[in-house]
Amino acid sequence: MSPVRVALVDDQELMRTGFRMILETEDGIDVVGEAAHGAAAVDLCHAARPDVVLMDIRMPGMDGIEATRRIVDELPDVKVLVLTTFDLDEYVFGAVRAGASGFLLKDTPADRLVEAIHLVARGEALMSPTVTRRLIEEFARAPGPAPEGSVHGLDDLTDREVEVLRLIARGLSNAEIAAELIVGETTVKTHVSRVLMKLGVRDRVQAVVVAYESGTVRPGDNH
């Protein structure tokens, strides 16, 4: 398999250097560039076409949320993994809406960082339970309108696919969903793929956004 191409975006050079030192020791990861602010990150992604961007949120000029939005809109194949100092960061909700595929704390252990990059590169989403709860609270407090075209996609889901979507919204992995439904993990992967395709979304995070914003999944459903 080809190495996962990673771009590092953080306004602190020391932080970028630290991440580079960790990742350059990994055979399956290739660091293809660095950027110190959002606008440079967008340019870097167009030039280097990374698979995954490690994106800081708080940066001068164009912040990580706007940079994520631009990258996701202009380069749909590029996945963004947001790095934050606090998992209840006020910017987390905006970054999810912008298209981020996951979140990690900056003090995440090196092996977890590497695992997360591979996970996101495969198209899976990565959110800590704390971040998931934060998103649910945000949706409960101020749910937005359903994204254009999403209601039609939701209507196309089978009962089992809606069930899978609810479990995704609880933050369950494919293996955990398989255990919950007493089916094989391959079957779950098929269901998840169909859910994403029917909703017209790029990953599990965006599927959860659509589910909550449309009211198909409500905050109380997770308990």
The Cα 96–Cα 115 span in angstroms is 20
Write out the two tokens for 137: 């609270």
Quote the pTM value: 0.73
pLDDT digits (tens, 9 = 90+) for 90-112: 677 778 778 888 888 888 889 98
- The confidence score (pLDDT) of residue 149 equals 45
Beta-ladder partners of 9: 35, 55
Helices within the chain (DSSP H only)? 13-23, 38-48, 64-74, 92-98, 110-121, 129-141, 150-155, 159-169, 174-181, 185-199, 204-214
pLDDT digits (tens, 9 = 90+) for 56-75: 988 888 989 999 999 999 99
pLDDT digits (tens, 9 = 90+) for 11-54: 999 999 999 999 999 989 999 999 999 999 999 999 999 999 99
The Cα 203–Cα 199 span in angstroms is 10
Beta-ladder partners of 104: 83
* Helix H or strand E segment including 79: strand 79-84
The Cα 127–Cα 44 span in angstroms is 25
Geometric angle at alpha carbon 137, from 133 and 142, rounded to 5°: 150
pLDDT digits (tens, 9 = 90+) for 185-206: 999 999 999 998 998 887 777 7
